[in-house]
Structures are given as structure tokens and as C-alpha cells.
Amino acid sequence: MSCIRTTSSHTDFKTLVALLDNELAQRDGDEHAFYHQFNSSTDLQQCVVLYEDSKPVGCGAIKMFAPTSVEVKRMYVLDSQRGKGLATQVLLHLETWAKELGNKRCILETGIRQPEAIALYKKNGYVQIPNYGQYIGIENSVCFEKLL
């Protein structure tokens, strides 16, 4: 298992994010367009891609949210690779990078139709917070934070 740091222009990151977007479109249905507008992957500067035997199997990104906070974005693991702890590995790499950049917390938004994601974040020490920013008042959204 290896993990690289890259940007959103990396081919493997783009491929995994396309799969993520397809899955989210199916799960979110008519609400997908609302969420999609906040998930642009075209200019992310802190992205990771996780590899198993040279094959990209997972990804994630962080972006600045506030002076000492980052937002976790674009978390994804191939369906065939789930249940192996790979999403936790991606998340740990992102948290390490966030700390190296001087951040004190990570925040994120996920959907109630993604129970696996909610379980992942809770398992990794994230606590639910009131919805922030564009997610305030959105019933399908649930937001979390973790102090680093």
C-alpha cells in the first residue's frame, strides 16, 4: 500500500472522482445538482491517491476553510476495495498533511444517504456539528469536525 500527495489534475485522482460523482448521483437523485456545485475538483491543491499494487484504490482531498481549518473533500474508495480500512488510511494521510500545514481542525459534510461515510468519520474521531455554510438547513446533509 502506498499513498501519494498530488493535486486535482492528477489522472488517477480524476478517475476516482468521476466514479465518486457517479455513485453520488445515484444516491442523491434529484438533489445531486445542489451538492455537485460545491464539489468542484478542478483546483484542489492537497489531494491524495492511495494505491494497492500500483492500482489506484482510493482518494481524498483537503482545502482551506478558515485560517486554521481545512475541509475534507472528495473521499472515495473503490467499491471492490471497501471494508479493508482504506478510507481510514486516506483520511489519516489527509489529517497528517493538514497538521503539517498548521491546521487545528478538519471539517466535512456528508449525506445521510451515505451511512458508510458517517460510520467512517465517527470511527475516526469526528463529531457531528451544526451544518455550516451552504449546508445550513439542508436536511440531507450532516457535518462533522475533528480537532487535530
Residues in the chain: 148
Residue (of 8, 90, 82, 80) closest to 44 by Cα position: 8
- pLDDT of 138 reads 87
Instruction: Compute the average pLDDT of residues 75-81.
Output: 95
Residue (of 77, 39, 26) closest to 56 by Cα position: 77
Q: Side-chain half-sphere of 4: how many Cα atoms within 13 Å?
A: 14
- pLDDT of 140 reads 87
Instruction: Compute the average pLDDT of residues 31-53.
Output: 76
Give the total number of structural domains in the chain: 1
Structure confidence by residue, pLDDT tens digits, 86-100: 999 999 999 999 999
Question: Are 10 and 47 contacting, i.e. CB atoms less than 8 angstroms apart?
Answer: yes
132 is in which domain, residue-wise?
Answer: 2-147
What pLDDT band is residue 26 in, cutting at 50, 70 and 90?
confident
Sheet with strand 141-147: strands edge to edge = 2-6, 46-52, 55-66, 69-77, 105-111, 141-147, 127-129
* CATH number for 42: 3.40.630.30
Structure confidence by residue, pLDDT tens digits, 116-139: 999 999 999 999 999 999 899 988
What pLDDT band is residue 61 in, cutting at 50, 70 and 90?
very high
Q: Check whether 40 has a pLDDT greater than 70.
A: no
Percent of the chain with pLDDT over 90: 78
pTM: 0.91
